[in-house]
Chains A and B, each alone.
Chain A
Amino acid sequence: MKEGWLQRMKGIVTVQVRGGEPEALVNGALQDGLSLWSIRRTSPEHMVFSLTVPDFFRLRPYLRRTGCRIHVTRREGLPFWLRKARKRKFFLGGIALFFVAMYLLSSLLWNIEVRGNKAIRTEDLLAAAKAEGVHPFQWEWKLPEPSDLAKRLAQRLPDAAWIGVEKKGTRLIIQVVETKKPAVRAPRNTRHLIASADAVVTRIIADKGRPVVHVNSRVKKGQTLISGTIGEGANTATVVADGEVRGLVWYEYDVVSPLERTANVYTGETKTKWSLVLFGRALQLTGYGKDPFSASQTREQLQQLGWRGWELPVGRLKETVMELRQERRQLGREEAVESGLLQARADVLSKAGADAVVKEQKILHEKTDNGKVYMKVLLEVDQSIVKEMPLVQMQGE
């Protein structure tokens, strides 16, 4: 039999039997339930076998009966080891200390991991956990139940929709799902909507408040369009008036448009310079010397070596210097008027907002003088004419 752990716990003795009738000894011992193993003859007179310590003490009557004498040759297992260990107290203490330390250290909570938080700061969460008695180097047996802890943490953190706590060995993982909050809107004053300019109303839609004017009614600048006071008599209330009001607004422009224009034109003459680019630094290779052009514009093209999103720090830079020439151009009257009108429209649109539409344009007066065209232009623009006017609460009314 291969000595198992049970035998080792009991202790194993190997004995040498001398004289008498060893076979009878073996038979007798077996009959009584003693277990012997590794029985062999070392010489005609000597037999060797192994047995456990308790069995060894039960062997005595059979020895007497069969006339055998025994001599212990080898001792093994826990009882003998303990006897030896009794002499090595510090060694034994060390082993015990090792196991105790191992147990204690593994029952500490070593770190806390927080996952899934964006708006909630990790420090806040850890502070909440600490208030619940959960912090690094806390004893495992002092920790509350994970489900319990999750519930109480969720109570402490109203911004968390759900909190899950999971313990993995010496790690505690806190998983957070945050509540989605609507964007905070700045509080608004109760107000009227008034006209920003003299206009004729083309469209009025009141989302909130009471519309005061109608389509096609003429309004003056500052006149109330949508009122913030609603209700009648004693049942009045003030609200934040909101809505869309569009109207036709007239703009008068004095436009000056010169008949002579200067423009920069490429002559077609170019000069190319090549540079080698290494690690973001360029080393010019060709095209040294002064540029031969009095006015010029430079265009740069960088080509970098690379493969599939990988970029090598090596490339080449092509600089093209292009000659410019100023050209004077004489415009016809029509062209000058057209460009003047365009200018006026662009200006009015930038003032009236992107959704403004120029409905009509009229040249009221036109004069050509000193190489320029002087014009008076009337533009009819359909635009939003809304302006806010906060309502001041009248107290005691």
Chain B
Amino acid sequence: MGKLNRKLRKWTADMLDLPQDVAYDLPRMTMIGDRQLYIENHRGVLHFSSHQLRLQLSHGVLEVSGADLVIRTIWTEEVFVEGKIESIHLMDREGQR
């Protein structure tokens, strides 16, 4: 995205009161307690085990840790995770945050 493009998008989002995820291609996460997690706008699975799920985002990586994690459903842009979720970390492309 060019700089102008990004600015235009931000301006539109501010003017029209749009949610940020629509404007910036950000992931949207919906969490129900510690048992269900619904992630939109991911870019693929990096790692998956019963206690950790790492997802590629457009900018960075999302790490979900827990126990007995199961991907109930997965589509190209959405994931629906079930299990006992303990933490969610948002990281830069490689480093930590």
Which chain A residues have a beta carbon within 8 Å of chain B's beta carbons?
A: 1, 22-23, 26-27, 30-31, 33, 35-42, 44, 47, 49
The chain A residue sitting closest to B49, CB to CB, is A41
Taking a contact as CB atoms under 8 Å apart, the answer to whether A1 and B50 are in contact is: no
Closest to B70 in A: A40
Secondary structure dominating the interface of B: strand
For this complex, 30 residue pairs linking A to B, each with C-beta atoms less than 8 Å apart, are A1-B72, A22-B48, A23-B45, A23-B47, A23-B48, A26-B45, A27-B44, A27-B45, A30-B75, A31-B44, A31-B76, A33-B76, A35-B73, A35-B74, A36-B74, A37-B71, A37-B72, A37-B73, A37-B74, A38-B70, A38-B71, A38-B72, A39-B48, A39-B70, A39-B71, A39-B74, A40-B68, A40-B70, A41-B69, A42-B50
B91 touches A (CB below 8 Å): no
In the complex, are the beta carbons of A30 and B44 less than 8 A apart?
yes
**B46–A23 CB distance below 8 A:** yes
The residues of B with any CB-CB pair to A shorter than 8 Å are 44-50, 68-76, 80
Q: What residues of chain A lie closer than 8 Å to B74, measured between beta carbons?
A: 26, 30, 35-37, 39
| Contact status A47-B45, CB under 8 Å | no
Asked whether, in the complex, the Cβ of A40 is within 8 Å of the Cβ of B50, the reply is: yes
> Which of these, B46, B69, B76, contacts A40 with CB under 8 Å?
B69
User: Of all chain A residues, which has the CB nearest B81?
Assistant: A39
Please, how many angstroms separate the alpha-carbon atoms of A26 and B69 in the complex? Answer: 16
Kindly state the separation between the CA atoms of A40 and B80 in the bound complex, as whole angstroms. 12
Given A23-B46, A26-B48, A40 and B75 contact (CB-CB distance below 8 Å): no
Residue of B nearest to A43 (CB): B50
Q: How far is the CA of A146 from the CA of B56 in the complex (A)?
A: 67
Chain A residues contacting B49 (CB-CB under 8 Å) are 41, 44
Q: How far is the CB of A219 from chain B (nearest CB, A)?
A: 115
Give chain B nearest CB distance to A68 CB in angstroms: 13
Among B44, B69, B73, B74, max chain A CB count under 10 A is at B74
With A30-B76, A35-B73, A41-B50 known, 20 other A-B pairs at CB within 8 A are: A1-B73, A23-B47, A26-B45, A26-B48, A26-B74, A27-B44, A30-B74, A31-B44, A31-B76, A35-B74, A36-B71, A37-B71, A38-B70, A38-B72, A39-B71, A39-B74, A40-B50, A41-B48, A42-B50, A49-B71
Quick one: closest B residue to A23, CB to CB? Answer: B45
Determine the distance from Cα of A41 to Cα of B68 in the docked complex, in whole angstroms: 8
Please name all residues of chain A whose beta carbon is closer than 8 Å to the beta carbon of B76 when the two chains form the complex.
Answer: 30-31, 33
Of all chain B residues, the one with the shortest Cβ separation from A28 is: B44
The 6 closest A-B pairs by CB, nearest first: A39-B71, A1-B73, A40-B70, A27-B44, A41-B50, A41-B49
Which residue of chain A has the shortest Cβ distance to B77 in the bound complex?
A30
Contact present for A47 and B48 (CB under 8 Å): yes
Closest Cβ of chain B to A156, distance in Å, is 66
CB of A308 to closest CB in B, whole Å: 64
- Assembled-state Cα–Cα distance A26/B40 (Å): 17
A100 → chain B, closest Cβ, in Å? 39
Roughly how many angstroms separate A33 CA and B49 CA in the complex, as a whole number?
23
Tell me if A35 and B75 are in contact (CB < 8 A).
Answer: yes
Q: Could you tell me the distance between the alpha carbons of A33 and B73 in the complex, rounded to whole angstroms?
A: 13
* Chain A residue nearest to B56 in the complex (CB): A27
- Residues from chain B with a CB closer than 8 A to the CB of A38 are 70-72
Q: Which residue of B lies closest to A48 (CB)?
A: B70
**CB-nearest residue of chain B relative to A32?**
B76
Question: In the docked arrangement, what's the CA distance between A40 and B45, Å?
Answer: 13
B80 closest partner in A (C-beta): A1
Q: Give Cα distance in the complex from A164 to B72, angstroms.
A: 59
Provide the bound-state CA to CA distance between A349 and B72, in Å: 109
Residues of B within 8 A of A40 (CB): 50, 68-71
Residues of B close to A23: CB separation below 8 A: 45-48
A384 to nearest B CB, angstroms? Answer: 103
**With A and B bound together, what is the CA distance between A35 and B45 in angstroms?**
14
Q: In the complex, A39 Cα to B48 Cα: how many Å?
A: 9
Could you say which residues of chain B place their CB within 8 Å of the CB of A44?
49
